[in-house]
Amino acid sequence: MSGPDGSALVVNGRAHPIDGVPSHERLLDTLRGRLDLKGTKEGCRTGNCGACTVLVDGRSALSCLVLTHEVGDEPVTTIEGIAADPNGRRVQQAFLEEGALQCGYCTPGFVVALTGLLSESPGATAEELLTDLQGNLCRCTGYAAIVRAVRTLRAEGP
């Protein structure tokens, strides 16, 4: 499905027409405000917290720093669609088992970012994964359990 000028945004496998979306609108606002996908969170809106992380063509992106119309035909995956990805399911399971969340506000960003890392760098060690997760902040400072979840994932292998 696409709009009259052909522009569509593909999110979690579904195409949404976006010709009515203003040029200056950010992906974060389109996802939450128009598509009612509220799993993606707004923390800082300046690229500093990672709460708004989604995958664009399989790679993590800060949706607060991306114009919706700049996504083009690259598919977007949000936390709502992450379970369709086997790595996404593994990350969710690891977070569940380790209880890696307190208020949960940062969790979608962490789960999406980690899913992207596992797909991009299947051979990454736990330490490497943790280094590349440094852009995700947890305001509750519940890092210990998040670190455990990452180690659990690596212990079971790629």
Partner 1 sequence: MGFELVAPRSPEEAFRLLEEGAGAASVLAGGTDLLFDLDRVTTAPRRVVSLRHLPWRGHAWQGDTLVVGSTEPLYELERDGSVAARLPGLHTAIRAVGSRALRHRATLGGNLARAAPASDLLPILLALDATVEIAGPAGTRRMELDRFLLASRTTALRPPELIRSVTVPAAPSVYLWQRVRPANDISQVGVAIAHPGPAVYRIAVGGIVPRPRRLPGAEAGLLSDPPPGPERVRAAEEAAREAPFPSDRRATEEHRRRVVRALVERGLVHLAGGAA
Ligand X SMILES: Cc1cc2nc3c(=O)[nH]c(=O)nc-3n(C[C@@H](O)[C@@H](O)[C@H](O)COP(=O)(O)OP(=O)(O)OC[C@H]3O[C@@H](n4cnc5c(N)ncnc54)[C@H](O)[C@@H]3O)c2cc1C
Closer of 44 and 103 to ligand X (Cβ) = 44
CB of 26 to ligand X, least distance (A): 13
Site string for ligand X, 36-55 (x = CB under 6 A): -----------xx-------
Q: Which residues ranging from 73 to 92 are in contact with ligand X (CB under 6 A)?
A: none
| Contact of residue 105 among ligand FES, partner 1, ligand X, none (CB under 5-8 Å per partner type) | ligand FES
CA pair distance 80, 84, nearest whole angstrom? 9
Q: What angle do CA 23, 30, 91 make, to 5 degrees?
A: 135
57, two tokens: 């063509």
Q: How many CA atoms lie within 13 A of 128 on its CB side?
A: 9
Q: How far is the CB of 141 from ligand FES (least distance, A)?
A: 8
The residue ranges that bind partner 1 (CB under 8 A) are: 22-24, 26, 45-50, 53, 56, 59-62, 64-67, 69-70, 72, 113, 116-117, 132, 134-137
